[in-house]
Amino acid sequence: MLLFCPTCANILEVEEGRSACYRFSCSTCPYVYNITKRISNRTYTTLKEVDDVLGGSAAWENVDSTEEKCPKCSHLRAYFMQIQTRSADEPMTTFYKCCSPDCGHRWRE
């Protein structure tokens, strides 16, 4: 935990004071803060919201289907779309979604 001097805004250092107690002191001015109880501070970071790379469920609305066997339910047709996920000299990635309404499994090739 970092504390700053209220008079000169420098970082306070921890040092041992009189009678074996600790205190915060400023190295540039005479400010001293005696520590009389435990000091703690807990900060939780907020995670960024992750965007769906494929565009969510709306991306699958107007796609074509092909003869591709689903690895989960063995249905013989799947929707597909191709997206450039790597650099331009790499081949496009093909994403599949099972046509079976009971399955809906997604995979890529």
Instruction: Tell me the pLDDT tens digit for each residue of 28-68.
Output: 999 998 888 887 888 899 988 876 666 666 777 788 889 99
Domain presence at residue 46: no
71 with 29, same domain? no
Which domain, by its residues, includes 17?
A: 1-41
Domain presence at residue 68: yes
Domain presence at residue 76: yes
Take residue 46 and report the two structure tokens written for it.
Answer: 């907020």
- Residue 9 belongs to domain with CATH number: 2.20.25.10
Q: How many domains does the chain have?
A: 2
Q: What is the pTM of this model?
A: 0.50
CA distance 2 to 18: 22
79, 97 Cβ separation under 8 angstroms: yes
Identify the residue with better confidence: 3 or 1.
3
Domain presence at residue 14: yes
